[in-house]
Structure 1
Amino acid sequence: MADPKDDVDHVVAGLSLEEQVELGVGEDFWHTKVYPGKGVPALVVSDGPNGLRFQGASHEHAVHPGEAALATCYPCSATVAATWDRRLAFDVGRSIGSEARALGVGVVLGPGLNIQRSPCCGRNFEYYSEDPLLAGEMGAAFVEGVQSMGVGSCIKHFALNSQEYKRFSNDAQADERTMRELYLSAFERVIKLAHPVMLMSAYNKVNGTYCSDNAWLLKDVLREEWGFGGVVVTDWGGMHDRVAAYEAGCDLAMPGGSHHQQRRALSAVKAGLLDPELIHASAARLVRLALRQESLAENSPAADLIACHTVALQAAREGTVLLSNKAALPLVAGQKVALIGSMARSPRYQGAGSSHINCRGVSSLLACEPTWTYAEGYDEDGATSEVLLAAAVETARSADISVVLVGLPEKFESEGFDRASMSLPEGMLRIVHEVCAASSRSVVVLLGGSPMELPFADEADALIWAGLGGEACGEALDDVLRGVVSPSGRLAESWPIRYADAPCSGFWGKLHRDGQYREGLYVGYRYYESAGVPVRFCFGHGLSYVTFEYAQLSVEAGGVS
């Protein structure tokens, strides 16, 4: 049997230096260059941390989510992490991989492995945890699942991409120990355990150098220390210096665009400023991946969409966290239930930005429980009125128990911007206070991908965090409320009482020119426990309906070994 390396070497040898440089730039938004007469197929990539955002044959970026192909929407990574279940993360990855393969996608752009440094990072929902071990284990399982279907996985965003504000120019300034023990650790674990075929560099700088040009990150650490042999791709539009990128080991600039960078690289070779062997090696990595994915795509069975939905439902169930419970849950058969809040009708079930999925349908709690008495409470932005408030209070008074759904509207957390605070909209806060006061018993359900300030925590008889539960969020929440399943989720991120308690709150965000990681290793629970700062809910917190009792214990005398 021929050595695959020989095929790659043969193909690369048949390409001119100019063609090899062109190969390192995307043909368009979702395809790499193709040289059909020279044995180089196109590689198709697609967004996909919590489902496939495939734009079909389109060569452009579809701004409206409805322009993407229909796909299963799974819970976001922050919710999947709350399951603490590697097997479930694998199943999510495998299901996404099956849908990708059926549509001819060669590489899924996910998962995101950045650490949840600040509770107000707009993209926290897309990341697993504040803890690098948990993020690495869940990320590795996801990658293994995707790649078990013959589809490649691209881990991102390498590295220290912990804020959305000024993400194209922010300089993340951190010491080496902090980087290695926290912000690089999950990437290292995933690379060594799961062997992803691709890695995406972040937009930002790290200690003065853009990630796509950063030789310490990409060459010294990633390739030489960790042994990564796959393709390094920029985030879209994130190439800054093609010559420096080749020297650092960055292979692919996405998407297609100006030829300026290619001309600059060729001029550098002619001037003796860039070793052409670096271009050859980069082209070989791209050809190897394209050939691998082409051979695997020859047999692309249809995805089992019923099985995919079942995985999404299971992940949403197991990622639901029971935060507190004063014997209000599970609901008892025959109770008259008031259902309050427009999110019960139109749930917030996924994040915004490049991860937004065009799913086939979304279950809501109201659709699952049409006999419960419903009141809107607030509008889609979380604003209420005296009319909406009065109707919600009257509905609550006439019921045995009220279930109130509140959370972060889409405009509060998304790729591209950070949250201004941890607060819920004022209208939602009014609804919760008034309904809890008017109800015999009250349950508050929180929808969103990151922590929230909860001034009403002691007023509710039960609190649930349902995260961003994907297309099956309503079914899953209904099962938990009624006790069909016992909640088993555990928080993968600490919930501070207020934003000011977060360790980076004094030097993170819009008021600061660069990303100064002054807190060092003291992120999340490391800080709260070390500094003795109380939190609303600690890392790993979660209750269930199950109780255990030990009885009739006995010890037999027989010596101790």
Structure 2
Amino acid sequence: MSDAVPDAATEHAVEAALVRLDLDAKARLLAGQDTWSLPALPEIGLASLVMSDGPIGVRGVRWTSDDPSIALPSPTALAATWDPALARRAGALLAQEARRKGVHVLLAPTVNLHRSPLGGRHFEAYSEDPYLTGRIGTGYVTGVQEGGVGTTVKHFVANDAETERFTVDNLIGERALRELYLAPFEAIVKDARPWGVMTAYNSVNGTTMTEHHHLVNEVLRDTWGFDGVNVSDWSAARDTVRALRGGLDLAMPGPRTVYGPALAEAVRDGRLDESEVDTAVRRVLRLAARVGALAGAGPAVTDPPADLDGEALARELARRSFVLVRNERAALPLRPGTTVALLGAAARDARILGGGSAVVFPARTVSPLDGLTAALPEGALTYAVGADPDEELAVADRGFALRAVCRAADGTLLGTGSAPNGHIQWMGADLPEGVTHDRLRTVELTGTFTPRESGVHTFGTRGLGAFRLAVGGTVRFEGVERPEKKDPFAAFFGGPVERARVELTAGEPVDVSLTYVVELPADGPLKIVTFTLCHQEPRRDPDELIAEAVEAARAADTAVVVVATTERVESEGHDRADLRLPGRQDDLVRAVAAANPRTVVVVNSGAPVELPWREEVAAVLLTWFPGQEGGAALADVLTGAEEPGGRLPTTWGSLADAPVTRVAPDDGRLPYDEGVLIGHRAWERAGRTPSYPFGHGLGYTDWAYESAEVTGTAAEGTTVQVRVRNTGTRPGREVVQVYLAPTEPHAGPDADQPDHPDHPDHPDQPHRPARWLAGFAAVEAGPGETAEITLDLPRRAFEIWDETAHRWFFVKGSYEIQVGRSIADRRIGVAVTV
């Protein structure tokens, strides 16, 4: 395992390096040298530290398919496994990928909470529950760092939505902050000792997180003992003095940040003391020592674990994450010899990951159509589009063979680069060989497009600036796109714009060219070249497509409909307006279900969507964003070769019933008025029944809960021993869940004071949810076999944060320890008094 505390030799090497640096070198180190790295300082034996986005794959410093990356399932999928050990293996694989790509620090994991179902980036976070999030995050961080690669647990703290995320001030009560939003970070810091944390763009209670002295220095460092590096989210740092005194070590990306020369100047004019700079530099040098980038200091890991098979692990993780939420008439697994009608555009063109900074390019992608074609006998599978969720143009991809040609202002060729699709995103030094930002004037995406369908194809652009689009040798558009509002990331996350419609014939290639004029602000902190060639296939009549799918469903024994969200629904950069599936997908499901009673719906989304037809179909399987091997894993589960192993990490329900929905601030402020009641806690308090409750998930066998015995004391450690029996006909895996429920009002010190959380007149009364997750573990057993599992309930499960005394308070009284399959399916209860 990686080091928990730096050893004396490491600290000696850090101090020896520090005293050899002058002020300018220190300030330069804390600013970074470019988008993804810190400068090397050869005079002290410091190599350049390289960072890279995660969390489902390691992209490296270049956004390109030339060096492909393993693409694991989304973090929501990882949390759906309820398996910290599997998360640890995922982390180990990502460390292996990072080492291969020369990356020292992974910008992951994201452990913000699913506060509102409208959060657009929830696919990149784990759960609505702080305990589950902390356990999965601990496994992930441990796995990465055991591979000798650092992590930056993010986004500290309360970056729980995307709307106005750069400026929003989230107003959060101290108790909710401690019990919910800080809790996963605290668990990971104490149990996994991360080497880094990333502070968020947003403010909390009036202070931006890159300057939050209380939460960073007093809570994260002093109280929890975090000794790693605090790096800003990219371009989040705003003020030199306040950032350094707020505990920010690295202001990224470099070199134009609030550190560097500005930091050295602040010391020289007396606004900061050099010892304050030394403290931050010391942490960066410690990180360098841990990853093996500082001479004279041995790395934290000298013998990384054996290499893992990335494709095999991606497939295993996917099938272990799939959640079977409904299975009537034993629709799954498919019976041998069954004929299948596979329906939905997402079955052919799989969406394997969410949009935004987490995007990577795998060497291969297995769609549901690919997976089932390989798994079923010849002639057993038919396919029809049925409905397409993409109602707008998407990144030009299938059928396009493109390259990027870079020229200077006078037309001189500077260099060329590959283009994995129609999206160009070059950040900092991430440019084709021979190309520099100061000379680059135009980038031409050029190549051919071979349509797979005849008809009118639509072409467009996404991005800001001047464009020239030509298709088939004819200029179809020439003009300029300007931003509607001031947004530093508008070019990244803005919508596509239609530019031309062209009649094309299937199988006949045409030349395609999109030329973009590069405009980089001279004083901007980021050197970014980004734009997109967009495309949409011919739009057929939706009713005809659905009718074709219905006919295919009638002719098959089982209909499998794959429905999905799109990048415009789930992506970094924006929140969701609703929870509906885009396009005519709901209509498709209803029509197919009416034609075939054995209709199975596969839901390809990273976070909850509404399923208004769920009672009309035989089975519903949630596959999240399943990563590059998703189609193969789907075939494993549908055919019964493997069991769906997942349980819901987040409540699924309708937006109308969801208790907490607000993500948009008012005048820059977003109050978290719900306090500690989010997710399943809020659903229970509101007395509302979701579509599928937290923790729910079915397998292909049945389980009986036979006994639960409680030993120990809550103050010293409570142990629950559970015995379950597999009562079905095949081997299976069960996730045993333990919930803690108070059964009488609790009393504590000063409970007679109205401002104390135990007082009955306190506005937070009743001061705890009806129940909360306190422990979980998985068991496996064959048909008729029993399995026993022992779970240790943490003392924290019996504590609340006392806002009056500003401390954790152990709440005495009567509880019921409830053991079961989900928060709504509790099989055994044991009364305890503490």
- TM-score, normalized by length of structure 1? 0.92
CA deviation vs aligned residue, 1:275-298 (integer Å, no higher than 9, x gap): 221101111111221233226499
In structure 1, the partner of 2:204 is 206
* Pair 1:502 & 2:502 matched: no
Count of aligned positions: 541
SS at the partner of 2:170? Answer: strand
Residues 163 and 298 (structure 1 numbering): CA distance in 2 closer, same or farther, change over 3 Å?
closer
In the TM superposition, 1:188-267 aligns within 5 A as 188-258=186-256, 261-267=259-265
Residues 345 and 297 (structure 1 numbering): CA distance in 2 closer, same or farther, change over 3 Å?
farther
* Pair 1:545 & 2:707 matched: no
Measure the CA separation in 1 of the matches of 2:233 and 2:176: 23
* Unmatched runs of 5 consecutive residues or more in structure 1: 57-61, 553-561
CA deviation vs aligned residue, 1:336-360 (integer Å, no higher than 9, x gap): 2111011111111111111111101
1:302 to partner: Cα distance: 11
Q: Which moved more, 1:255-264 or 1:485-494?
A: 255-264
In the TM superposition, 1:65-464 aligns within 5 A as 66-67=64-65, 69-258=67-256, 261-293=259-291, 294=293, 296=299, 304=307, 307-326=309-328, 327-370=330-373, 371=379, 372-379=381-388, 381=390, 385-464=542-621
1:311 to partner: Cα distance: 1.1
Measure the CA separation in 1 of the matches of 2:270 and 2:217: 21
Whether the 8 Å contact between 1:30 and 1:46 is mirrored in structure 2 is yes
1:300 to partner: Cα distance: 9.4
* Pair 1:533 & 2:688 matched: yes
SS at the partner of 1:243? Answer: helix
SS at the partner of 1:70? Answer: coil
In structure 2, the partner of 1:29 is 35
SS at the partner of 2:559? Answer: strand
Q: Root-mean-square deviation (CA), in Å?
A: 2.2
1:381 to partner: Cα distance: 0.4
Measure the CA separation in 1 of the matches of 2:617 and 2:92: 38
1:258 to partner: Cα distance: 2.3
Measure the CA separation in 2 of the matches of 1:423 and 1:546: 32
In structure 1, the partner of 2:484 is none
CA deviation vs aligned residue, 1:178-230 (integer Å, no higher than 9, x gap): 00000000000001000110100001111111101110111011111111010
CA deviation vs aligned residue, 1:374-395 (integer Å, no higher than 9, x gap): 0011235068612211111111
* Pair 1:51 & 2:206 matched: no
Whether the 8 Å contact between 2:372 and 2:631 is mirrored in structure 1 is no
CA deviation vs aligned residue, 1:56-107 (integer Å, no higher than 9, x gap): 5xxxxx4xxx357311110111001001011110110001111111222111
* Pair 1:490 & 2:499 matched: no
In structure 2, the partner of 1:555 is none
* Pair 1:521 & 2:676 matched: yes
Whether the 8 Å contact between 2:341 and 2:552 is mirrored in structure 1 is yes
SS at the partner of 1:543? Answer: coil
Amino acid of the residue matched to residue 325 of structure 1? Answer: N
SS at the partner of 1:23? Answer: helix
Amino acid of the residue matched to residue 265 of structure 1? Answer: L
SS at the partner of 1:437? Answer: helix
Residues 510 and 455 (structure 1 numbering): CA distance in 2 closer, same or farther, change over 3 Å?
farther
Residues 489 and 30 (structure 1 numbering): CA distance in 2 closer, same or farther, change over 3 Å?
same
Amino acid of the residue matched to residue 313 of structure 2? Answer: V
**Which structure has the highest helix share of the two?**
1
Residues 206 and 511 (structure 1 numbering): CA distance in 2 closer, same or farther, change over 3 Å?
closer
Residues 512 and 79 (structure 1 numbering): CA distance in 2 closer, same or farther, change over 3 Å?
farther
Aligned counterpart in structure 2 of residue 42 of structure 1, from 40, 45, 48:
48
Amino acid of the residue matched to residue 368 of structure 2? Answer: L
Amino acid of the residue matched to residue 51 of structure 1? Answer: G
Whether the 8 Å contact between 1:100 and 1:108 is mirrored in structure 2 is yes
**Which structure has the highest strand share of the two?**
2
Whether the 8 Å contact between 2:390 and 2:583 is mirrored in structure 1 is no
Amino acid of the residue matched to residue 354 of structure 1? Answer: S
In structure 2, the partner of 1:59 is none
1:157 to partner: Cα distance: 0.4
Whether the 8 Å contact between 1:322 and 1:465 is mirrored in structure 2 is yes
Measure the CA separation in 2 of the matches of 1:365 and 1:264: 53
Q: Which has the larger radius of gyration?
A: 2
Point out which structure has higher relative CO (alpha carbons under 8 A, 6+ apart): 1
Measure the CA separation in 2 of the matches of 1:486 and 1:330: 9
Aligned counterpart in structure 1 of residue 10 of structure 2, from 4, 8, 13:
4
CA deviation vs aligned residue, 1:99-152 (integer Å, no higher than 9, x gap): 111222111111101011111111101111111110000000001101111111
Amino acid of the residue matched to residue 696 of structure 2? Answer: H
1:3 to partner: Cα distance: 2.1
